[in-house]
């Protein structure tokens, strides 16, 4: 079979992800390894697929005046990816984009299809795209401009105000940079930084974790330090285990632990001493935790597959010094790397998830020792799953409170953030150009 061009692979992926809602980053990585894509083309493929997905609602708006009939999904995605390149990627001339789109349409469809694609794209070129600025409703304007569904922009505007929502939506369109966490029992931050530098990987120290290095340039996955001395983890995600305040020898519960990013971080912070019980719903996912622990030579993590809403049947009351509930959530803080989430999530999913989070909280709270501390975190930006959730929990458990020391212990770079409330800290994606997270810590009242 003749080798497929980058845009043909991109079209296949977009049709698959766009129509079936599969996870885009997983599919892209699979496509890259299956199709033997060159290093140079990898960048272009990723840019076209993520860019087109990220701007899907904007592209739909742009094409509306030019397309009056219903199209096959692949024709629609071919037009989207072409207009994406014409509008957002300056280095590729329009005529080259149109020619390639027409060639793909000829190969995949019949004569009529390629004529249609040619006609639409040439009209776009001649007449120009419709103006987003002319949309009167500010919520709709922001929704179309930044390609977030109307309900989400409306919900965020009500929760955080339109200005903060605008910053967040714009920030979600930016590409995400990687961070790594060093394994401190095997290396030091300075040593790892200089070894990475020698391999051509430039980094900056994170302000959120003294184990974190933010990648400025280069590919850490290709480093010889990976995976035994460095782990890929977002720096805001590292802050979660930092705030758990663990010490060597403690007994710790990580109730929702797969794939194990935070459990292994906790283990490192405990110098591989004490005991961590790391659970998750499915055995397959639990295996990932074990694998990560093995890669890092961490041996104090016991794993198990269980619905953590039933942990009371497995562990006695007040048996943990520290509990982490990194709960399943709507994932609205990670839209940069998983743009498909914003199109697939519905408002009702948030209510359903909030209910599960509450059941998990009710299950683990009794397991906390009287002098223990419990961190609740999500990688989402939503009051119902975060601040409101904690507010309601505190009503049911009046003997608990938000630990005031939590706020004192936050790194300096967090101290003035807009997302700090009496219920914890909401980190927005624009705060650190990283994933959005909510983190708080509860304890018994004195």
Ligand X SMILES: C[S@@+](CC[C@H](N)C(=O)[O-])C[C@H]1O[C@@H](n2cnc3c(N)ncnc32)[C@H](O)[C@@H]1O
Residues interacting with ligand X, by CB under 6 A? 256-262, 279-281, 285, 307-309, 326, 328, 379
258 burial type by CB count under 10 A (0-12 exposed, 13-18 middle, 19+ buried): buried
Residue nearest to ligand X (CB): 256
* 262 annotated ligand binder: yes
Question: How far is the C-alpha of 182 from the C-alpha of 269, rounded, in Å?
Answer: 11
CB closer to ligand X, 220 vs 328: 328
Min dist. Cβ of residue 396 to ligand X (A): 19
Count of C-beta atoms within a 10 Å radius of residue 115: 14
Question: How far is the C-alpha of 176 from the C-alpha of 196, rounded, in Å?
Answer: 20
CB closer to ligand X, 309 vs 369: 309
* 115 annotated ligand binder: no
Min dist. Cβ of residue 253 to ligand X (A): 11
CB closer to ligand X, 326 vs 431: 326
CB closer to ligand X, 58 vs 257: 257
Cα 41-45-51 angle, rounded to 5 deg: 140
Label residues 407-441 b or e (16+ Cβ within 10 Å = b): beebeeebeeeebebebbbbbbbbbbebbbbbbbb
* 263 annotated ligand binder: no
- The reply to whether 169 belongs to the active site is no
Min dist. Cβ of residue 103 to ligand X (A): 43
Question: How far is the C-alpha of 338 from the C-alpha of 24, rounded, in Å?
Answer: 7
Helix (H, G, I), strand (E, B) or coil at 405: helix
* 257 annotated ligand binder: yes
Helix (H, G, I), strand (E, B) or coil at 109: coil
Angle 111-127/56-63 helices, nearest 10 degrees?
90
Question: How far is the C-alpha of 381 from the C-alpha of 436, rounded, in Å?
Answer: 6
* 41 annotated ligand binder: no
Q: Which of 169, 329, 379, 414 is catalytic?
A: 379
* 260 annotated ligand binder: yes
* Diameter of the chain measured on Cα atoms: 77
Min dist. Cβ of residue 265 to ligand X (A): 8
Min dist. Cβ of residue 260 to ligand X (A): 5
CB closer to ligand X, 195 vs 307: 307
As annotated, the binding site for S-adenosyl-L-methionine includes 256-262, 280, 307, 326
As annotated, the active-site residues are 379
As annotated, the binding site includes 256-262, 280, 307, 326
């Amino acid at each position: 079979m003749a080798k497929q061009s980058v845009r043909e692979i991109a079209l296949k992926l977009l049709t698959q992800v766009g129509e079936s809602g599969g996870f885009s980053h997983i599919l892209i990585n699979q496509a890259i390894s299956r199709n033997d894509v060159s290093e140079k083309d990898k960048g272009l493929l990723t840019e076209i697929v993520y860019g087109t997905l990220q701007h899907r609602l904007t592209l739909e708006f742009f094409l509306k005046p030019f397309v009056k009939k219903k199209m096959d999904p692949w024709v629609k995605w071919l037009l989207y990816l072409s207009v994406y390149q014409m509008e957002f990627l300056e280095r590729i001339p329009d005529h080259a984009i149109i020619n390639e789109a027409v060639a793909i349409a000829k190969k995949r469809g019949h004569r009529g299809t390629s004529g249609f694609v040619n006609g639409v794209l040439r009209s776009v070129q001649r007449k120009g795209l419709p103006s987003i600025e002319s949309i009167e409703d500010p919520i709709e304007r922001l929704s179309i401009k930044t390609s977030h569904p109307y309900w989400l922009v409306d919900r965020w505007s009500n929760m955080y105000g339109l200005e903060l929502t605008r910053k967040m939506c714009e920030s979600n369109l930016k590409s995400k940079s990687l961070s790594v966490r060093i394994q401190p029992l095997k290396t030091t931050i300075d040593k790892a930084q200089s070894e990475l530098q020698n391999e051509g990987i430039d980094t900056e120290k994170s302000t959120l974790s003294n184990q974190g290095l933010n990648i400025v340039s280069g590919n850490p996955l290709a480093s010889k330090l990976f995976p035994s001395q460095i782990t890929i983890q977002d720096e805001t995600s590292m802050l979660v285990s930092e705030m758990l305040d663990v010490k060597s020898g403690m007994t710790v519960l990580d109730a929702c632990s797969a794939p194990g990013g935070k459990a292994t971080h906790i283990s490192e912070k405990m110098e591989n001493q004490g005991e961590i019980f790391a659970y998750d719903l499915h055995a397959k996912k639990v295996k990932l935790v074990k694998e990560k622990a093995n890669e890092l030579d961490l041996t104090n993590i016991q794993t198990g597959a269980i619905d953590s809403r039933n942990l009371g049947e497995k562990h006695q009351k007040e048996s943990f010094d520290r509990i982490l509930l990194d709960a399943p959530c709507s994932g609205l803080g990670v839209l940069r790397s998983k743009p498909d989430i914003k199109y697939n999530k519905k408002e009702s999913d948030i209510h359903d998830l909030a209910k599960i989070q509450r059941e998990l909280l009710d299950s683990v709270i009794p397991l906390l020792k009287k002098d223990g501390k419990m961190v609740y975190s999500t990688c989402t930006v939503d009051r119902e799953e975060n601040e409101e959730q904690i507010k309601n929990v505190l009503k049911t458990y009046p003997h608990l409170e938000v630990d005031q020391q939590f706020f004192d212990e936050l790194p300096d770079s967090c101290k003035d953030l807009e997302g700090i409330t009496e219920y914890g800290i909401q980190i927005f994606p624009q705060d650190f150009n990283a994933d959005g997270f909510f983190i708080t810590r509860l304890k018994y009242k004195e």
